[in-house]
Copies of this chain bind each other. A is one copy, B any other.
Amino acid sequence: MNATPREIRLNAFDMACLGHIQQGMWTHPRDRATDYLSLPYWTGLARTLERGLFDGLFLADVLGVYDVHGGSQDAAVRHGVQIPLLDPMLLVPAMAAATQNLGFGVTVNLAWEPPALLARRFSTLDHLTEGRIGWNIVTGYLDSAARAMGLDRQMAHDDRYDMADEFMAVVYRLWEESWAVDAVKRDRASGVYADPSRVSRIRHEGRQYRLDAPHLVEPSPQRTPVLYQAGASDRGRAFAALHAECVFLNGGPKPHVAALVADLRARAAPRPIKAFLGATLVIGRTAAEARDKLEDYRRCASVEAALVHASASLGIDLAALDLDDELPAAPGNAIQSNVTALRAAAPRATKRALVDRMILGSRQPPIVGSAEEVADALLAWVDDADVDGFNLSRTVMPECIEDVVDLLVPVLQERGRYKRGYAPGTYREKLFGAGPRLAAPHPAAAVAR
């Protein structure tokens, strides 16, 4: 560790829908998340985040509906639990046009399209954002998404990671190998835009993917987007250690998170990894105001909607349980980070124990207090569990973000634990202080030319 305490990093954790993590908040009279269909809602959010020097806006995504709870999609639709939902990638260009420094970490499931299509979309966004794009690599976990795509169910958990490893090998070659650094000449006098001897077709013949084509997009500032990943299973951590530059952790008790972070750092070494912990903040100008705000928000929280979300992520039909029933073992296809966080929090959890935690419409209890108290809590996480920052999920929008920007950030800055301006360069340069491209020993660097 450095002698100088490190600065903490903040991402907004959001989703192109009504109810992301904290369910029911959209019913609050001041909440504006119901404007999620309009561009000004998103460009306004991006400007506020940039005013608060957030590193990034992290956008979640799913491709299916939450139909585990009660064996039906009805409760998800009724409460707006991540349905309806827009494609998050398409929010980025307008937000990029409205900002200069904010990064964008977008969740895209790699399971349902050829690598060349996904690679082109990310290269396009890396150009349009001038190097501010990141990718949260997911392979999906919902059978309902598989049914939307033409299958009966998801592939098995570890098989999805094997597929993802091959997919990554292909997209690295498209991004890093197809166009040499000196390929683009842009020479009006000779009429030569690019030197064809420096642009090569990528030939790949693997178990899941085949390709014989050049990348269609010329080199973008970062080439490979900043890579996020959230795997908590053993296979998921191995994948993260190989590929991820930033990991997203779901929470749980501090020793559990500290052990997870230490394990991920050890696996990835000597590559640095930034660890972002999911957190929900309720901040007041005073502790009393924060408690009042929590009570005000709580009146809108929906436990049923939270159970809909939890049923899908845990792979357990919580509607079928009585409050004092113990939660059964989660199936292999559940989100393991949710399962491990839950087990760490309450090894022999009942449904009642889970519901008791759902005070804001999710099983992630909020950090509540004055800006000073919340700063203390966040810095304790950084110092004790070695996390680099937080993915802040929203409550009532946009006031929950404005509270962070206007109340919390100044306190962190006074303590010397938050930046006072953005570092120059791309998203990767801002996060790691090195170059815009992935460097050895990352596998993307091994194929670069």
- Chain A residues proximal to chain B, CB less than 8 Å: 16, 18, 24, 26-29, 34, 37-40, 43, 63-65, 72-75, 77-80, 83-87, 89-94, 96-98, 112-114, 116-117, 120-121, 123-125, 127-128, 130, 144-145, 147-151, 184, 186, 188-189, 191-197, 199, 201, 209-214, 216-218, 220, 302
Contacts and interface: CB of A to CB of B under 8 A. Distances in A.
Nearest to A213: B148
Contacts of A127: 37-38, 86
The 8 closest A-B pairs by CB, nearest first: A80-B193, A148-B213, A74-B196, A84-B218, A150-B210, A93-B94, A86-B124, A77-B196
A144 B216 CA distance: 11
Contacts of A24: 191
Contact of A216 (B65, B197, B214, B217): B65
Contact of A211 (B93, B150, B192): B150
12 contacts: A34-B186, A39-B97, A74-B197, A77-B195, A79-B192, A80-B194, A84-B216, A86-B120, A89-B90, A90-B125, A144-B213, A150-B210
Given A117-B112, A120-B87, A73 B211 contact: no
A133 B93 CA distance: 16
A191 B87 contact: no
Contact of A194 (B28, B78, B117, B130): B78
Contacts of A193: 18, 26, 77-80
Contacts of A216: 63, 65, 83-85, 148
B64 A213 contact: yes
A86 B215 CA distance: 11
Contacts of A75: 196
A117 B29 contact: no
Nearest to A184: B84
Contacts of A217: 84-86
A116 B149 contact: yes
A123 B194 CA distance: 36
Contacts of A89: 90
Contact of A38 (B43, B123, B128, B184): B128
A147 B113 CA distance: 14
Nearest to A18: B193
B29 A188 contact: yes
A151 B217 CA distance: 21
Contacts of A191: 24, 27, 78-79, 302
Nearest to A174: B148
A441 B113 CA distance: 33
Given A87-B120, A124-B87, A193-B78, A148 B93 contact: no
A36 to B, nearest CB: 9
Q: Which of A113, A114, A193, A210 has the most CB of B within 10 A?
A: A193
Contacts of A84: 184, 194, 216-218
Contacts of A209: 150
Contact of A147 (B63, B65, B196, B213): B213
Contacts of A16: 124
A24 B28 CA distance: 57
